[in-house]
Amino acid sequence: MMRPRGVRGFFSLSRLLGGHATPVQSPAAKYRVAIIGGGSAGVSVASQLMKKLPKSLHSEIAIIEPSDKHFYQPYWTMVGGLGLDKEKSVLPMSKVIPTGVSWVKEGCATFEPDSNSISLKGGGKVEYDVLIVTAGLQQNFGLVPGLMDTIGKNGVSSIYSYEYSSKVWENIEATKQGKAIFTNPGTAVNCGGAPQKIAYLADCAWRQKGVREKIEIDFCTATPGIFACPTYRAALEKIMAEKSITPHVKTNLVEVDGPGKVAIFEKEGGERVKKEFDFLHVTPPMSAPDFIKNSPLANSIGFVDVDKETCQHTQFANVFSLGDCSSLPTSKTYSAISSQAPVVVHNVMAMLDSKPQNATAAYDGYTACPVLVGGNKLMLAEFNGYTMDAMPTFAPPLDQAKPNTLFYIMKRWIFEQVYWHFMPVGMWYGKRMFFEPPVKHKVVPTAATSSA
Ligand SMILES: Cc1cc2nc3c(=O)[nH]c(=O)nc-3n(C[C@H](O)[C@H](O)[C@H](O)COP(=O)(O)OP(=O)(O)OC[C@H]3O[C@@H](n4cnc5c(N)ncnc54)[C@H](O)[C@@H]3O)c2cc1C
């Protein structure tokens, strides 16, 4: 038998630590911890919790997850913009859910936090001591009239779907001239930079084919600027200008006529503008999933209402949330999740130890967005989503606002391997890499500090 060698060998050995989970035959009446969703956040938190709990308690962690498949969504940008194989963005859920936890292969239907229970779509009920909600975002393609009828056809595609991500590359290849439009809605989206990353990659592909001169590119965003963090926004505005991509801010896609090849936008003040297109890349409006929106856990806009530092629910102390479905007001990325997970694990452990007063670990708002800009270069935008200050990992002279090839290599080949091999075994802490971050505590104002 061949022995694995080098980097590839190291990765395949490390993956042996990962799981081969099988769903439970029928769920137990109660678990110590119930995690809703086995995506990036659910699996990160489960695998890190397992490292803190004795083995005898691992089966007391339930992951409630109906899907057979686990997606590494950041890959979809490279499927659409570099023509990579979308099959590489997916693994069977059984290989990602850690062995030893109880996988309840059903959807959660409703939350009953007053009785510490949830109802399953199949009709059962599960009680818990602690609940962690990690059900991701819902892509609402149907909210833009005409979009559902035309997505995947008529030059319309999106990297915000496993299914249509490969269509983006097909459309890039098929477009030789005309008008290309890339959209960004005004709602929360996963990875705020991805709607423009795909524009840069398309620009690059069209330049390589020698057709760029014949294609006009517009980036239409409902937001007031093209990127949230000012340090990187300024650099990205320059890049957009250099690439002759025209930004249109406060310009929201509201309707698509696929066969007529017309997209309708609403500008600030309600004015409607029709734009013809040959190529249309749509980032759909997104929201928390409906079953969360309609639950007692939701805030006024539908996300799980948690403290922005402790990730603990504002009303139900034994409920936590992180990742895309949480109300944490930072950019919704896996990078952010890798900083949120250890915080949630610390605070959940405090609850399980019956020391709720110790559930004070605090998340600082860290997030990151690796912006592919074409030409095998990438800007590694790391910032605090709460203060919008840049939080670069690398010291000068390396300037993270300047795209470079080293960062591109990390995104193109390394991040994906790290995700599949180390995230499911609780060994990846994002910015801190393999090292568990020290706990920072929430500062609770005392009578003295609040009156000062
Ligand atoms: C195109 C694209 C590019 C991206 N690029 C980057 C990037 O470069 N860097 C980065 O850090 N992040 C990036 N992201 C964002 C990142 O992928 C997400 O932030 C991350 O996957 C969110 O994890 P999550 O666990 O919150 O949600 P998900 O990973 O979406 O998981 C949610 C899980 O909940 C399950 N679920 C849903 N409903 C129910 C229910 N009723 N009951 C039980 N389970 C349910 C789903 O089946 C799913 O498995 C990108 C995302 C996209 C789409």
Write the ipTM: 0.99
**The pLDDT of residue 447:** 63
**The pLDDT of residue 449:** 52
108 is an active site residue: no
Q: Could you tell me if 91 and 70 are in contact, meaning their C-beta atoms sit under 8 angstroms apart?
A: yes
**The pLDDT of residue 18:** 53
Q: Quick check: CB of 38 below 6 Å from ligand 1?
A: yes
Cα–Cα distance between 13 and 218 in angstroms, integer?
A: 46
Distance 357 CA to ligand 1 centre (A): 31
**The pLDDT of residue 445:** 73
Which structural domains are found in the chain, ordered by start?
19-137+288-362+413-432 (3.50.50.60), 140-286 (3.50.50.60)
Measured by CA distance, the residue closest to atom 38 of ligand 1 is: 135
Q: Could you tell me if 407 and 311 are in contact, meaning their C-beta atoms sit under 8 angstroms apart?
A: no
Q: Which atom of ligand 1 is nearest to the CA of 39?
A: 31
**The pLDDT of residue 194:** 98
Tell me which residues of the chain have a pLDDT lower than 70: 1-19, 446-452
pLDDT in tens, 230-258: 999 999 999 999 999 999 999 999 999 99
Q: Which atom of ligand 1 is nearest to the CA of 289?
A: 38
**The pLDDT of residue 444:** 78
What burial letters (b/e) apply to 32-46, b meaning 16+ CB within 10 Å? bbbbbbbbbbbbbbb
- Phi, psi dihedrals of residue 35, rounded to the nearest 5°: -110, 125
- Phi, psi dihedrals of residue 4, rounded to the nearest 5°: -65, 140
